Structure 1
Amino acid sequence: MNGDTTHGALKRLRRIVAYPEYEAVDTYIVGIGTNDVLLPYLTRISWLWKLQMEPRCRRLQCKTDMKEFAVEYEKYLILLADRQKKMILIGMPYIELKGYPHESIRIRNKIIGRLAKKYEVPFIDIYALQMELASQPGEYTWKHRNLTRVGEGVFTAVLPFTKDWLGRMRGLKLTVDGVHYNTESARVLAVEVQRHLDRLVKSS
């Protein structure tokens, strides 16, 4: 669900695992947490973004504190482990936005990595994989793009093949708009997910 947070997605996961039709699902891929950092970041770049994102962040309970994030994230693992589900954890990606708090992302990825070791589940460090794709990523800004973001969303939904072109026009190497994966980042992630899924199948 686009724009969701660690707290919001956890509520959805609790509902999903309770549905009888999902009982047969034995593997869950967990990739969450970016919006816990992105939404507070957007509140700082302009007053228009602040008006939009501050109430949203409160409603979705963005986990800005690292300890709170770690506690909330571990609830995913406890929930799935208690139901004897397999898991693959995906770390938080590189964001090509001006002034973005990358250190916060690196710390959160360390937290996710430690939890993966604790529960003995695979961890995909997409941030590190993206750095291998582009050691000097691009940089973009959403500062004065509140309305154009809506237009771009409609445009790329109708013409999805334009996403990579837009990213290149913006000088971006890993994303199409500073946040969402371009084809190359998505491909690298897909390869790693498939590799871990194959291992889980072989070990079962």
Structure 2
Amino acid sequence: MEDYFLTKFQRKTRIELQRIVDNQEHYRPEAVLAATKLLNKKLSEQALPILDEAAYPTRDEKLKVDTLSLSFDYRPFFRTLSYREFLTSISIAMFALAVIGIINYYSDERFFVDAHSTWRLYTILFVFLANHIIYRHEHKRSNNFLGRYINDLFLLVSMIILTISYKFIIGDTYTFPIENGVLGIITVISVIIMTIFSFEIGLGFLKMLLKKIRCQIF
């Protein structure tokens, strides 16, 4: 696998290779090692200090990296996009809908009577966070902001499709709650975009905190 990345990264510039080394959590270990070797080679050819492959480059050796552009770089996510992202989203969506169904069924019980809406909200937040944790486990790397955002959309669309399909199977009809269809769709999409954006900003701060205490889980 390392040979594959060595060949793939041959034409990358020194800045691009340095970006991979500085952001190792976004790439596979083999890719980081290959980028480090190629970067060492380029640095040695320019008579610059060679980086230690087993360690991060020192502060003086690091090149300036635009962290904002890295957060909104779509390439890391789509480079590894496969069927498992969709299967994972569908599986997590089915789990979430099953839990919500149980909460709705027992909504009249004493334990849920005054808190079933809160439990539904907690379930949604949990499954969206679990979606990112599973992604890190599957790909052995963290997802960036844009990647997590797209992954959230996959999960949300899966939940909507499964909900509509379930209603269709049981013979129920799905009614849109807003009378003006076009305006309603625009409003719902805008709310969804802003809600997921705000959610991911909050997760971004949580991720920074977890990295500082060396307990990164997504």
TM-score when normalising by structure 1: 0.29
Whose radius of gyration is greater, 1 or 2? Answer: 2
- Of Structure 1 and Structure 2, the greater strand share is in 1
TM-score when normalising by structure 2: 0.27
- Of Structure 1 and Structure 2, the greater helix share is in 2
